[in-house]
Amino acid sequence: MPTRPGTLGRRALLQAGAGAVAAASMLTAPAARAATQVFGHGVASGDPLPDGMILWTRVTVRPDAVPGSGLGDPATVRWEVAADEQFTEIVTSGTTTATADSDHTVKVDVRGLAPAQYYWYRFTAFGEESAVGRARTAPAAGATPARLRFGVVSCSNWEAGYFAAYRHLAGRNDLDAIVHLGDYLYEYATGSYGGRSGSVRRHDPVHEIVSLADYRIRHGQYKTDPDLMALHARLPFICTWDDHESADNSWSGGAGNHDPATEGDWPARRAASVRAYLEWMPVRAEGTAAAPRIYRRLRFGTLAELSMLDLRSYRDAAPHLGSPGSDDPARSITGAAQMDWLTAGLVSGSARWQLVGNSVMISPLAFPPMDPATTAAVTEVLGIPREGLAPNTDQWDGYTADRRRLLTALTDRNATNIVYLTGDIHSSWASDVPLDAAAYPNGPTAGAEFVVPSVTSLGIGDLLPGPPRTGSVALEHSIRTLNRHIRYTELDSHGYGVVDIAADQVRMEWFYTADVTDPGTGVALGAAWVLPRDGRLQPGT
């Protein structure tokens, strides 16, 4: 969990400045300036398919009809999709109605588009046009694209700093989409969870969000961040939620940051958070209104499939630290239906690469890793999990039976070309994913995991004494020494990842922003690792 890298070189600063100009230009265009009243929360797209995508906006129907207010009459909203930025060739259009029941948000699932094409879209209401957004459809199911490139982000806390990582991603011209792995927003009250030196910006509302109105207000605040608005207008998002979209360390029956005595019924709070999320995010949910399902699979021709997981809605409560309850075969992080769906998709998928949008780390992290076949007597006497003492049971380490079910199914089928894209822990990691961590590098592996740092949220390095890259370096070395499958870890920096998928390899690059308290901060490449096809992790060149 992050800090700041060293001094940026002149070239990096120039590149950062160019990205800032590109992103800012999208917000100062005439259409954007004219839409500040009616379309003050921007536009967004998501979940691209070969023939379509989700389009999103919010309409402020009158000045007091702010997010969460419940005020304002219904409004007719026109949407248009064009093959060119000037809208001289409109390919499809329609109208929909924004109502107070959905907080005056609008989501349109557009279909009938051509695969692997850029499209531009906009909305019109009350005689005003929104900013223009751009999105690219996915390749046709049978197509074989030469490559795909996604920005990968997670953990963006408003109070911890500015979203410069989004600005730098918006300044790139080589991305197909953004994969957001959760903690898009945070539920905390103002001042209760800031950055290294406290809160940089204030949350709205100032209290911890609990009600539907609260969650709507917080979503609305985040959607006014100029860097986030620019990125949404530039690229489609593929999102899942983690815990802070509802409450810290949430599970199916409660949350670590929820007190029923003072905050009411957990199912009601959870339902409010889910409803606001689905209103405000360009996500294609299935299921029913009472039980929406956001785990889903997107295909990008024959090159890749992306399975987005939901690791909060169906999980059991995490066990206590060091508890052998981590090994309980009845304890699940996915739920039975999602586990069956995930396993079947990964072992039978026909795409060259199987990507998994995974909100919490799946690679084992133990001190030290233990071999259940030879150390069972020791771990039983000590009363610790069979695979070793894990410091974070909120991730897959707290659900080792589920992890072993999945990895056994994959290794039995020699399914090696799997890449887990992960967020949550506010730090950077690259790991092979072994069936038995204690046996690594011997024994089978089921692909590799790339964990991206937080956009702003407080990290491990922020909590250590001394300047960045001092105490954290020794800790990183200890982690890698004891967990040999973990090939790279960086505990200090904030930023984002860019994953490049080609036929012969998947490459992850980590980019680190210099100072999250500076809205104009620069960015620099921090590391690169590569997973060759049918291989194991190698340092990138």
DSSP symbol at 208: P
Cis peptide bond prior to 205, omega within 30° of 0: yes
Residue at a domain's end among 97, 131, 165: 131
Q: Do 369 and 303 have their domain in common?
A: yes
CA dist 412 and 418 (Å) reads 14
Considering only 288-297, 317-326, 435-444, 524-533, which range has the smallest mean pLDDT? 317-326
Q: Is residue 69 part of a domain?
A: yes
Please state, for a pLDDT cut of 70, what percent of the chain lies above it. 92
Residue 468's pLDDT is: 85
Q: pLDDT tens, 484-535?
A: 999 999 999 999 999 999 999 999 999 999 999 999 999 999 999 999 999 9
Q: Is residue 139 part of a domain?
A: no
Question: Is residue 297 classed as helix, strand or coil in its secondary structure?
Answer: strand
The total of structural domains in the chain comes to 2
- Tell me which residue range forms the domain holding 75: 38-131
Q: Is residue 267 part of a domain?
A: no
Q: Do 101 and 167 have their domain in common?
A: no
Q: Do 392 and 500 have their domain in common?
A: yes
Q: At what angle do helices 226-234 and 10-27 cross, to 10 degrees?
A: 80
At a CB cut-off of 8 Å and minimum separation 6, what does 285 contact?
Answer: 278, 292, 293, 294
CATH of residue 64: 2.60.40.380
Q: Is residue 137 part of a domain?
A: no
Beta-strand pair 418-422/445-451 = parallel
- pLDDT band of residue 36 (cuts 50, 70, 90) is low
Please state, for a pLDDT cut of 90, what percent of the chain lies above it. 84
Contact by Cβ (8 Å): 509, 515 = no
Residue 118's pLDDT is: 97
Q: At what angle do helices 400-412 and 336-348 cross, to 10 degrees?
A: 20
CB atoms under 10 Å from CB of 206, counted, come to 9
Concatenate the DSSP letters of all residues of 87-155 into one string: -SSEEEEEEEEE-GGGTTEEEEEE--PPTT-EEEEEEEETTEEPPPEEEEPPPPTT---SEEEEEEE--
Q: Do 195 and 308 have their domain in common?
A: yes
Question: Is residue 73 classed as helix, strand or coil in its secondary structure?
Answer: coil
Residue 188's pLDDT is: 98
| For residue 7, pLDDT beyond 80 | no
CATH of residue 18: 3.60.21.70
Residue 3's pLDDT is: 33
Q: pLDDT tens, 102-154?
A: 999 999 999 999 999 999 999 999 999 999 999 999 999 999 999 999 999 99
- pLDDT band of residue 321 (cuts 50, 70, 90) is confident
CA dist 368 and 388 (Å) reads 6
DSSP symbol at 8: P
Q: Do 122 and 151 have their domain in common?
A: no
287 strand-pairing partners: 292
Residue 378's pLDDT is: 67
| For residue 212, pLDDT beyond 60 | yes
Q: pLDDT tens, 337-374?
A: 999 999 999 999 999 999 999 999 999 999 888 777 77
At a CB cut-off of 8 Å and minimum separation 6, what does 105 contact?
Answer: 56, 57, 58, 98, 279, 280
Half-sphere exposure of 319 (CA within 13 A, CB side): 24
Q: Do 102 and 159 have their domain in common?
A: no
Encode 335-403 in three state secondary structure.
Answer: CHHHHHHHHHHHHHCCCCEEEEEECCCCCCCCCCCCCHHHHHHHHHHHCCCCCCCCCCCCCHHHCHHHH
Q: Do 233 and 380 have their domain in common?
A: yes
Backbone angles phi, psi at 10, to 5 degrees: -60, -40
Q: Do 416 and 527 have their domain in common?
A: yes
CA dist 391 and 142 (Å) reads 44
| For residue 34, pLDDT beyond 80 | no
At a CB cut-off of 8 Å and minimum separation 6, what does 346 contact?
Answer: 307, 354, 356, 406, 409, 410, 415, 418
CA dist 343 and 100 (Å) reads 40
Q: Do 178 and 79 have their domain in common?
A: no
Encoded amino acid at 293, one letter: R
Q: Is residue 5 part of a domain?
A: no
At a CB cut-off of 8 Å and minimum separation 6, what does 196 contact?
Answer: 3, 458, 462
CA dist 265 and 217 (Å) reads 20
Q: Do 67 and 89 have their domain in common?
A: yes
pTM of the model: 0.91
Concatenate the DSSP letters of all residues of 140-153 into one string: PTT---SEEEEEEE
Q: Is residue 392 part of a domain?
A: yes
- pLDDT band of residue 429 (cuts 50, 70, 90) is very high
| For residue 19, pLDDT beyond 50 | no
Q: Do 324 and 438 have their domain in common?
A: yes
Question: Is residue 237 classed as helix, strand or coil in its secondary structure?
Answer: strand
Q: Is residue 138 part of a domain?
A: no
| For residue 20, pLDDT beyond 60 | no
| For residue 247, pLDDT beyond 90 | yes
Contact by Cβ (8 Å): 285, 313 = no
Half-sphere exposure of 70 (CA within 13 A, CB side): 5
Residue at a domain's end among 70, 103, 131: 131
* Closest C-alpha among 508, 492, 520 to residue 13: 520
Q: What is the mean pLDDT of the chain?
A: 91
Residue at a domain's end among 84, 105, 131: 131
Beta-strand pair 418-422/353-358 = parallel
Q: pLDDT tens, 45-103?
A: 999 999 999 999 999 999 999 999 999 999 999 999 999 999 999 999 999 999 999 99
Q: Is residue 268 part of a domain?
A: no
CA dist 79 and 92 (Å) reads 9
Q: Do 155 and 88 have their domain in common?
A: no
| For residue 30, pLDDT beyond 80 | no
| For residue 21, pLDDT beyond 50 | no
Dihedral Cα 254, 259, 261, 263, nearest 10 deg = -90
